[in-house]
Structure 1
Amino acid sequence: MFPWFAVGHMTPFLHLANKLAERGHKITFLLPNKAKLQLQHFVLYPNLITLHPITVPHVHPLPFGTETASDIHINLNGHLATAFDLTRPEFESVIIGLTPKPHLFFYDIAHWASEVAARLRITSVNYNVVCAASLAIALVPARNLPRDRPLIEEDVARPPSGYPSSNVVLHGPEARSLLFLGTDFGSGLTFYERITTALKSCDAIAIRTCREIEGNFCDYVSAQYNKPVILTGPVLPENDNSNSPLEAQWADWLGGFGTGSVVFCAFGSQFILERDQFQELLLGFEMTKLPFLVALKPPNGCATIEEALPEGFKERVGDRGVVHGGWVQQPQILEHPSVGCFVNHCGFGSMWESLMAASQIVLVPQLGDQILNTRLMAGELKVAVEVEKAENGWVSKESLCNAIKLVMDEKSEVGCLIKNNHVKWRQIMISHGFMKGYIDNFIMDLEKIMT
């Protein structure tokens, strides 16, 4: 396995490695040195999963020591992709040196990796940890983006021909979020060229999703690439947190509030808000008059959370609200009975975690794939509320407060509808054998591809 050097990619690859190792398969997992230290606690089968460190070369203008996307601003990801490509000689050396020879190779953005796998007669699987809808709307041949000029909004305003949904779409100026498809993403390739090349050259496409939710998008991607698309299901770790219980500071604080009364907010590890938007969101949480735990990185231009807080915020909120700038145990917090609402950016990992949790869901997407995930959750499944935004993307304190109150008010018709739909889908997800069945079928599909 050789995923993109971002925690949001390496972690789900590692969860899949655990599921495969649970069934006796041996995995060599290539990742940066720093990431090995960060992620090794996820390895449940150390006798079968080997984390093999890769040296990430320095590429200007990345800061020295950069190894993962978490180390840099999102605008520098293209340079990290160049560094990623420069690991190819070491990658090839590692693969050639493995004994016995691997049967399968899983990758995502390494557009050149299937060439290496084919030369060594190893079956290559392009494993996608974003939703199938994101692939279907943005990264298919029918998108047919121009190559001789920069992208403009008109190039991405409409879904590609044959796209199978009218709900999971981008509205108006949101289409601008797809302009990144034409940006440089390392080694002289645009993001679109890199990913579509990786998808075209593999033996099979795998997606971390389930047919019950995204079957129509999976079929569309399969038809576009004329390749088998095989599904792993959500691939979430088991809900047994006995080995890593919730830290005492959060358990004690959450324990001071009633069942289902606390609003928890987290926006992922990489996105950083501007200071004015950060403060506006905090004022929105304050307006709800509900207890809240907000886990966000300090906004741009601020070294600490303290200096970014709105004037008088701490004094007004008191012990009812906590704003934390560091990492928190998101799954364990979501399992706490006091948490009644989860406000998140709808990254794909958070999307699945929120579906599996009992709390209500409010979504504030920031990037293109997050917007599509949100439309899937709020538009197709109707299990969440999307916070209204101004045309320029601004989220007002009133919009955030209203969305939270809508799902937390037991007398709200919309809130009841969403809650009932969420309960239905959650029961499907947590039903006995659901996730196990997906992994078992995934392994059978892999065996067919290899024959």
Structure 2
Amino acid sequence: MEQKFHAFMFPWFAFGHMTPFLHLANKLAEKGHRVTFLLPKKAQKQLEHLNLFPHSIFFHPLTIPPVDGLPAGAETASDIPTSLVKFLSAAMDLTRDQLEAAVGALRPDLILFDIAHWVPEIAKEYRVKSVMYNVISANSIAHDLVPGGELGVPPPGYPSSTVVYRAHDAHALLSFSVYYKRFYHRVTTGLTNCDIISIRTCGEIEGKFCDYIERQYQRKVLLTGPLLPEQEKSKPLEDQWSHWLSGFGPGSVVYCALGSQITLEKDQFQELCLGIELTGLPFLVAVTPPKGAKTVQEALPEGFEERVKGRGVVWGEWVQQPLILAHPSVGCFVSHCGFGSMWESLMSDCQIVLLPYLNDQVLNTRLMTEELEVSVEVEREETGWFTKESLSGAIRSVMDKDSEIGNLVRRNHVKLKEILVSPGLLTGYTDKFVEALQDLVNDTNLG
């Protein structure tokens, strides 16, 4: 009988990392393995409901040490602006002794980690295998995070001429350059020193980038598939949205969401609202209030609410995105193309319009638009600014029944979705991944 293993998980202290790690933990637990999940104390309450196997997945809360510059009580990336991330990573480094004590006491077989680049050192010391599990896209690792790379420039041998930055992406690169060096050092060190690299993606979408990473790091790269959470059957779409969306025809509503990390300047937020209004289509915009505003309502353009009454809603709080995308009335998804949203858009039947802000979102957008040709990107000026006309034009180009580009991206999207939902494809990835971990644990020659 195959031996069951005990895995430690130590993700970066951000919900966009902890959540996919927990989805993976559920897959390991489902196959009878045990997981100890290390995370900041306060985060446990927010993640508990996603633990589907509480008898096999044990939360191990960490005390986040105080760091000069990190606000008191801040424990995760959602507690701080991006400019303070370096202080949070310093706090994570200071939990090293807590991780080491846990490894010494509980003796796991392997540790899955991402940003804590020093984990392989501890793993080697205790004869534990280390797996670097990347929840960002393979294309952004291949472009920005290989040895000898330079920010914004494709590295030698990079396998694509289209999944690259352009002149008007300077704004995205500028915001990344602030912490690029530190981040680059952490990721490349982790990738170089771990026993195995794994990535939350699949070969059908990012195969050539995974092969490139394998060659650059001379490490086996295992794929888990996108690991989308199974829709909670017990939780239907909230009544207010289900009722409101049902008032419109099939595939007619534009849904726009830019993720929790993006906070727009007020003028750009207003341009977004006006651009979507210009389409003449019904819409739901779910974004965080713009800079300087407590609510989205106080920042709306003048006269906007009266003009769109009955056909448009701007919402400043969290919504059930996968369930909204699955609603038959929703026909277009305007997204920032963060990695999670990218997969959700591919698994939906919606037309896809992309408006990226951060570096990895830019590369994901080029993959979707230029290589896979399943989406359109909103045109931007050299400054990175988009106009209401360019946004509304992009949406119309995919929503117009007679549009050539709209029909092309729809056909390609349908084909790709068929592949992704084909029976056994995604479960096959997780099955193979768990088998590979089993082999890694049993292989005493490694490490």
Letter in 1 for 2:54: P
**Cα 1:182/1:408, change in 2 over 3 Å:** closer
Identity of aligned residues (%): 59
Kept in 1: contact 2:171–2:384 (CA 8 A): no
Letter in 2 for 1:410: K
Please give the residue correspondences for 1:27-66 in structure 2 after superposition, counting only pairs within 5 Å: 27-66=35-74
Q: Is the 8 A contact 1:57 1:86 kept in 2?
A: yes
Kept in 2, the 8 Å contact 1:74–1:271? The answer is no
8 Å CA contact 2:176, 2:358 repeated in 1: no
Alignment of 1:24 with 2:32, yes or no, is: yes
Alignment-mate amino acid for residue 133 of structure 1: N
Residue in 2 that maps onto 1:429: 420
Instruction: Please give the residue correspondences for 1:182-197 in structure 2 after superposition, counting only pairs within 5 Å.
Output: 183-184=178-179, 190-197=182-189
Q: What's 1:149 paired with?
A: none
Structure 1: segments with no counterpart, 5+ residues: 146-155
> In the alignment, does 2:149 pair up with 1:138?
no
Which residue is equivalent to 1:168? Answer: 163
**Counterpart Cα distance in 1 of 2:321 and 2:104:** 38
Is the partner of 2:38 in helix, strand or coil? strand
2:202 — aligned with what? 210
**Contact kept in structure 2, 1:138 and 1:178, CA below 8 Å:** no
Q: Secondary structure of 1:142's match?
A: coil
> Partner residue of 1:15?
23
What letter is aligned with 2:268? Q
Go from structure 1 to structure 2 and tell me whether the alpha carbon gap of 1:264 and 1:441 turns closer, same or farther (over 3 Å shift).
same
Residue 266 in structure 1 maps to residue 257 in structure 2: yes
| 2:6 counterpart residue number | none
TM-score (norm 2): 0.94
The code of the aligned residue for 2:305 comes to K
Going from structure 1 to structure 2, the CA distance change for 1:279 and 1:175 (only over 3 Å counts) comes to closer
Q: CA deviation at 1:447?
A: 2.8
- Asked whether the 8 Å contact 2:331–2:351 carries over to 1, the reply is yes
1:333 corresponds to which of 324, 327, 330? 324
| Aligned equivalent of 1:198 | 190
Q: Determine if contact 1:181/1:190 at 8 Å carries over to the other structure.
A: no
Letter in 2 for 1:115: E
| Superposed displacement of residue 20, structure 1 | 1.5
- Matched-pair contact (CA < 8 Å) for 2:197–2:222: yes
Report whether the alignment pairs 1:230 with 2:230: no
SS at match of 2:309: helix
Summarize the Cα distance change of 1:382–1:190 in structure 2 as closer, same or farther, 3 Å threshold: same
Greater CA drift, 134-143 or 440-449: 440-449
Is 1:158–2:153 an aligned residue pair?
yes
TM-score normalized by structure 1? 0.93
Aligned equivalents of 2:285 and 2:135: distance in 1?
A: 25
Q: Cα distance 1:289–1:176, how it changes in 2: closer, same or farther (>3 A)? A: closer
Q: 2:378 aligns with which of 363, 369, 387?
A: 387
Which residue of structure 1 aligns with residue 90 of structure 2?
Answer: 82
Q: Give the Cα separation in 2 of the matches to 1:179 and 1:301.
A: 22
Q: Quick one: which amino acid aligns to residue 208 of structure 2?
A: N
Tell me the distance in 1 between the aligned counterparts of 2:325 and 2:179: 37
Partner in structure 1 of residue 5 of structure 2: none
- Give me the whole-angstrom Cα distance separating, in 2, the residues matched to 1:40 and 1:224: 37
Q: State the 4+ residue runs in structure 1 displaced beyond 6 angstroms.
A: none
Query: Any gaps of 5 or more consecutive residues in structure 2?
Result: 1-8
How far has the Cα of 1:62 moved from its partner?
Answer: 2.4
> Helix, strand or coil for the counterpart of 2:285?
strand
Aligned partner (choices 336, 345, 352) of residue 343 of structure 2: 352
One-letter code aligned to 2:105: G
Q: Does 1:305 align with 2:296?
A: yes
Q: What is the aligned-residue RMSD (CA, Å)? A: 1.5
**Mapped pair 1:415 → 2:423:** no
Deviations 1:250-294 (CA, angstroms, capped at 9, x unpaired): 111111111111111111112211111011000011111111111
2:129 to 123, 129, 135: 123
Q: What residue in structure 2 maps to residue 151 of structure 1?
A: none
What is the Cα deviation at residue 157 of structure 1? 4.4
**Counterpart code for 1:9:** H
**Offset of 1:236 from its aligned partner?**
0.6
Distance 1:297 1:179, change over 3 A: closer
Q: Is 1:97 the equivalent of 2:105?
A: yes
- Is 2:171–2:383's contact at 8 Å kept on the other side of the alignment? no
In the TM superposition, what whole-angstrom CA distance separates every residue of 1:165-220 from its partner, at most 9, and x where no partner exists? 001111124256445665457xxx72211111111110010001111111111111
